[in-house]
Amino acid sequence: MKGEGEILIVHRLLDEQILDSDGKRCGRVDDIELRGSPPRIAALLVGEGLYPRRLPDRLRGAARKLAGPERWGANALRVPWEKVDRIDAALHLCCKAEELGLGEGDDPERWMVRRLPWN
Amino acid sequence: MKSILRIALGIIAALGGFLDIGDIVFTTQAGALYRYDLLWAVALGTLGIAVYAEMCGRVAAVTGRPVFDVIRMRMGFGLGLVALVASTFVNVLTVAAELGGLAIVLQLLFDAEFSLFVVLAAIGLVFVVALLPFGGIERVFGYCGLLMLVFLATAIHQGPDWGEVAHGFVPSLSDSKLYLYFVVGVFAAALMPYEVHFYSSGAVEEGWDESNLRENRLNASVGYALGGLLACTLVVVSGFLFHPVGVDPTDLGTAALPAQGAFGETGLLLALGGILFCVGGAAIDSSFSASYNLAQFLGWEWGRYRGPRNAPRFTVSWLIFLFLAMLIVLTGINPVEITEYSVVLAVVALPLTYFPILMIAGDRSFMGKHANGLISKTLGWVYFAVIVTLAIAAIPLLLMTNGGGG
């Protein structure tokens, strides 16, 4: 379902689950970058730094304190549209999450979970 | 033959997983206060959870999306966040209620300090999750929860006036606020949102696809109907024994007494065992639900089947939710009170999770030929109206009746 053509970006793309080429869940489409006229999708934007802009004005300040301000490359990432392989029940990338810096929050080293017995 | 067996086992798991501390507390009290008058509300609640769970299971099997995946997709980030915060609050409160229930039962079985059992129960749950695979957890608690059948035997043994029992299934309202509070409570206890969060995420954990739709229908219809039957039995045995003498069963142990009356110590032990497994299973389901929801909403990796190494944030958040729930019980608030609050607040949060499921289950662009048909659509919307009504009435009734205290 990808390629040239039209897509209902809010209905079908925004907030969609992203899976990498190994099927690993690595974030959701938190925002979309459009360019040109007529607008075309340039990139998907992913990361907790983008959460504040999804909230009403009044909550934005508080959300920035919690999620941290938008820092590109750290808590806000750009996934070029070319990296999207296909969209079916979820959005599949054609590369590994690490190549784009996605899914770093699920790095086991950060969470001391290696020794848990139910691995 | 094999598939029939598998489906039968699934139904038993659904049946055992239906009852939890909320059902036990509200049905026992409803029986004691109003004898068989509230049976219709139990039946109505059971049909509600069956309709809702069937939709959630179908959506999960067809699209691979569990409940909070759908909520984020259909409600967006802002409104979805409201649903997430409300559901998480209710789920953690429910875990606390179930942990408290576990500790009460353990205390009745082995005499020692309550707070010790709260901690032991929490540690025990971590061990169970560590040792058993996902399907094993569901089955152990589901099958052992069948000990609750002792209440069915108790009802038959007691031999109530069955005509009077049947009359209880005719809906009746009264202007008594306490009665209305119990209508909301009994209905909501059957429709706890964690049950569908867990059910739909479990479907994804077990890799369901369209070939599992029949299993899904049978779980929701037969499994939940049998679960509802057990809930009705709790009303009947309590109504038979406690209503005439005016006992108000304010602690969980009282719920097991009718079985003792009928079958002596064996009955009591079976009943306590049944409650232990039902409540223990519900503690795992509700705590898993809290972290399923968080992980699904934020797009993290999740699932018991991934293991902590591949789903670390999911695992760590589960441990944190369990710990928070343990702290809530350790404050010394009566677990029965925590239960009542968790059930009544759950019905307030329910429309937020029910509505997006109803939307996507009827959306042909997602569901294709498995989208809601006429029956699901009608039942779905009727129940949505009922849920919204109860959600609006719940908090005022809770305050006006002083939490069911009259």
Which fold would CATH assign to domain A9-110? SH3 type barrels. (2.30.30)
pLDDT at A33: 95
Chain A residues whose CB is inside 8 A of the B301 CB are 24-26, 103, 106
Q: A108 contacts in B (CB within 8 Å)?
A: 308-310, 312
pLDDT confidence of residue B288: 96
Cβ of B323 under 8 Å from any chain A Cβ? no
CB-nearest partner of B301 from A16, A24, A90: A24
Q: Residue B2 has what pLDDT?
A: 65
Q: What is the sign, positive or negative, of the torsion defined by CA atoms of B56, B61, B62, B63? A: positive
- The pLDDT, as a whole number, for residue B256 is 94
Indicate the residue of A17, A107, A110 with minimum beta-carbon distance to B299. A17
Q: Answer yes or no: do B307 and A118 touch at CB < 8 A.
A: yes
- Write out chain A residues lying below 8 Å of B312, CB-based: 106-108, 110-111, 113
Question: pLDDT per residue over A75-116, tens digit each?
Answer: 899 999 999 999 988 999 999 999 999 998 899 888 888 878
Residue B315 has pLDDT above 60, yes or no: yes
What is the least distance, in Å, from the CA of B300 to any CA of chain A? 6
CB B308 within 8 A of CB B99: no
Residue A55 has pLDDT above 70, yes or no: yes
What is the pTM (predicted TM-score) of this model?
0.94
Q: Cα torsion for B84, B135, B137, B263, to the nearest 10°?
A: 120
Spatial distance between the Cα atoms of B158 and B241, rounded to a whole number of angstroms: 9
Q: Which of B64, B131, B298 sits opposite A28 (nearest CB)?
A: B298
CB B45 within 8 A of CB B186: yes
| A114 close to B (CB below 8 A) | yes
Cis before A80? omega within 30? no
Q: Does position B406 have pLDDT exceeding 60, yes or no?
A: no
H or E stretch at A85 = strand A84-87
Residue B131: its chain A contacts at CB < 8 A? 117-118
B93 confidence band (pLDDT: 50, 70, 90): very high
Which residues in chain A have Cβ-Cβ distances shorter than 8 Å to B316?
Answer: 111, 113
Distance CA B368, CA B294 (A): 28
> pLDDT tens digits, residue range B247-288?
888 788 899 999 999 999 999 999 999 999 999 999 999 999
- Please report, for chain A, the start and end positions of each structural domain, with discontinuous segments joined by +: 9-110
Contact B112, B348 (CB under 8 A): no
What pLDDT shows up at residue B143? Answer: 87
Per residue in B141-199, pLDDT tens?
Answer: 888 988 999 999 999 999 999 999 999 999 998 889 999 999 999 999 999 999 999 99
CB of B335 closer than 8 Å to CB of B79 = no
Mean pLDDT, rounded, for B117-137: 93
Domains and CATH numbers, chain B: 21-400 (1.20.1740.10)
| Residue in B72, B129, B313 closest to A118 by CB | B129
Q: Quick one: tokens of B168? A: 């209880």
Cβ count near B27 (within 10 Å)? 32
Mean pLDDT calculated for residue range B282-301 = 96
- When pLDDT is averaged across residues A50-69 and rounded to a whole number, the result is 87
Top mean-pLDDT range of A70-74, B71-75, B326-330: B326-330
Q: In this complex, which of B72, B313, B315 lies closest to A28 when CB atoms are compared?
A: B72
For A25, which of B300, B316, B365 is closest by C-beta distance?
B300
Residue closest to B53 by CA, chosen among B148, B185, B190, B211 = B190
For testing contact with chain A, the best of B59, B314, B315, B318 (most A CBs within 10 A): B315
Q: Assign residue A45 a region: left if phi > 0, alpha if psi is -120 to 50, beta otherwise?
A: beta
The residues near B258 (Cβ < 8 Å, ≥ 6 apart) are B151, B154, B158, B237, B238, B240, B241, B242, B271
As a whole number, the mean pLDDT across chain B is 93
- Please state the φ and ψ torsions of residue A87, each to the nearest 5 degrees: -125, 115
CB atoms within 10 A of CB A57: 6
- Asked if pLDDT for residue A4 goes beyond 70, the answer is no
**What's the pLDDT score for residue B150?**
96
Distances (CA, A) of B374 to B59, B196, B209, B271, B379: 16, 22, 23, 41, 8
Distance between CA atoms of B185 and B336, rounded to whole angstroms? Answer: 13
**Which position has the token pair 């369209």?**
B210
Q: pLDDT-based confidence at B88, cuts 50/70/90?
A: very high
B25-44 pLDDT, tens digit each? 999 999 999 999 999 999 99
Asked which of B10-14, B31-35, B47-51, B319-323 is least confident by mean pLDDT, the reply is B10-14
Judge whether A95 and A20 are in contact, CB under 8 Å: yes
Provide the shortest C-alpha distance from residue B392 to chain A (in Å): 25
pLDDT band at A2 (very low <50, low <70, confident <90, very high): low
Of B258, B221, B322, the residue nearest B15 (C-alpha): B221
Mean pLDDT rounded to a whole number for chain A: 89
Higher pLDDT, A95 or A118: A95
- Give residue A42's pLDDT: 95
Contact B309 A113 (CB under 8 A): yes
Report pLDDT for A102.
94
Q: What is the pLDDT of residue B371?
A: 95
Res. B99: pLDDT tops 80: yes
In this model, does residue B295 exceed pLDDT 90? yes
Q: How many residue contacts between A and B have a Cβ separation below 8 Å?
A: 83
Residues 340-369 of B with CB under 8 A from A: 365
A54 touches chain B (CB under 8 A): yes
Q: Please tell me the predicted confidence (pLDDT) of residue B285.
A: 93
pLDDT at B351: 94
